[in-house]
Amino acid sequence: MCHQIQFLFLFCFLFLNSNAQNKELPKDYLSKEFHKGRREQLRKIMPAKSVSVFFTNPVRNRANDVDFHFHQDPNFYYLTGYREPNSVLIIFKNDQKIQGELINEIIFVQEKDAFAEMWNGKRLGIEGVNKELGFNYVYNGFEFIDAKIDFSNFDHILVSPFENDVRDTDNEADLYDLIATFKQQISINLTQSKKQNFDKNQAKFRKTIDTKTFQSLMASLREIKTKEELLLIKKAVEISAIGQIEIMKAMHPAMSELEIQGVHEFVYKKYGAEYEGYPSIVGAGNNGCILHYVDNIKPVVGDGSLVLMDLGAEYHGYTADVTRTIPANGKFTVEQKLIYDLVFKAQEAGIVSMKIGNNFNHPNQITRTIINNGLVELGIINSQDEDHLYYPHGSSHHIGLDVHDASNFGPFEENMVITVEPGIYITEGSNCDKKWWGIAVRIEDDIWITKNGPINLSAMAPRTSEDIEKTMLLPSALDAFILPKLDEGF
């Protein structure tokens, strides 16, 4: 009787939870038609006699028995819409006869499990993937072991390099076992199914496994955004810009870096962005000179400091990347304004250069020339050609499902979305006048390349030094927020 009650409870839980989740999900996810269309486009550009194999991201452990929230592999999500782990997708260039049927794609997913779903949420399972994601040939992950796909039939096995650490678990169909099965299958197919000597088969194995073509093909698809993608990117960027505006209004010198981060990330959640697209960077004073500073633990940003804020909301998988640098007390010093305005001048020129057909490195060359000339005029460097680390990074990268999105870095094309982010970082102890020390400025915007010229998607967030100062005079909803003093001991 006890087992019957437990089964009935699980059945009711899953039935009710399934119905509730279907009704309550956001309505603006990418459509199953989008993902199907992306698979069709990939199939068109795959080489003759090829197969593409995609694995989900691993589940990553945070500590002990607690895992990080699962984040899907961008390529896998792009082609499927599937947001669960422990799965493999196989796309064939041409129809293959498998178990008596001609198919051009097959997906193996984690199976339904009533008890696991009670703890960790609904799984789509075979029926859900068929109905909601539009796959005709769906199997449970453990069936991949017996699928016996003959990979020796293909001249190219397109697959991503296996660079992630993957844990083995008690689940016999986890990612570890799926990858192990794949490696075993291709090894058997390529070394034992042909009557050739071992060395020749090893050479065929190395030639057949093609990671470079895999990465190039996926980049060629993902670097050009569809209308559906552009809508999600625009939403992510605008949410991020609102975060920048709200902290400009709320900023005061007694704030901590962590508090500033929290305001941004609250705005993200307020407007429906599920995550941050990357670890938030909030660097006050000299911390702003650390390009990927993510500790954000300085307790007081301090009067007279600049605060560099590089943050981006992730909305339904697509991430923004927006940076603003503002004075903690609302007013740039003379030196801060000179550096800020120089970076802004460089960025403006870089954005103007983002026209269809121009080389990807064009904005970087333009911004670097302007910044170097400006640093000479300010007496910070001696000549335009002087080697220095005041601008140590490139100006641009694609954004999308990754903050540094997949790209082949060719000429600009319509519907690419690319950042322009020049910066100047003068660390304490630099070989220049001490008045410049600790000044770090980066301005970053997300630019949509169109046939009518570049469009700044993040222009909503004030960019000029004058507009920033004006915005910082506006009242903030956080002005009335009273933080009680916490006990410092017992």
How many whole angstroms separate alpha carbon 327 and alpha carbon 333?
A: 8
Quick check: helix, strand or coil at residue 134?
coil
Strand order in the sheet with 281-284: 281-284, 306-311, 322-327
Q: What is the pLDDT of residue 99?
A: 77
Return d(Cα 14, Cα 2) in angstroms, integer: 19
Q: How far apart are CA 134 and CA 80, in angstroms?
A: 9
State the CB neighbour count (10 A cutoff) for residue 120: 12
The encoded tokens of residue 101 equal 């049927």
Q: Which domains does the chain have, with CATH numbers?
A: 26-221 (3.40.350.10), 225-480 (3.90.230.10)
* pLDDT tens sequence across 205-217: 556 899 999 999 9
Contact 185, 228 (CB under 8 A): no
pLDDT per residue as tens digits for the range 158-183: 999 988 889 999 898 999 999 999 99
Q: For a pLDDT cut of 90, what percent of the chain falls above it?
A: 81
Measured between alpha carbons, how far is residue 477 from residues 217, 247, 290, 299, 311 in Å? 47, 10, 31, 22, 21
Specify whether the CB–CB gap between 42 and 217 falls below 8 A: yes
Question: Each residue of 362-409: pLDDT tens digit?
Answer: 999 999 999 999 999 999 999 999 999 999 999 999 999 999 999 999
Tell me the average pLDDT across 270-284.
Answer: 97
Distance CA 283, CA 310 (A): 9
Distance CA 247, CA 476 (A): 8
pLDDT at 13 > cutoff 60: no
The H-assigned helical ranges of 271-313 are none
In the structure, how many helices (H) and strands (E) does the chain have?
A: 13, 19
Mean pLDDT of 260-266: 98
pLDDT tens track for 67-109:
999 999 999 999 999 999 999 999 999 999 887 889 999 999 9
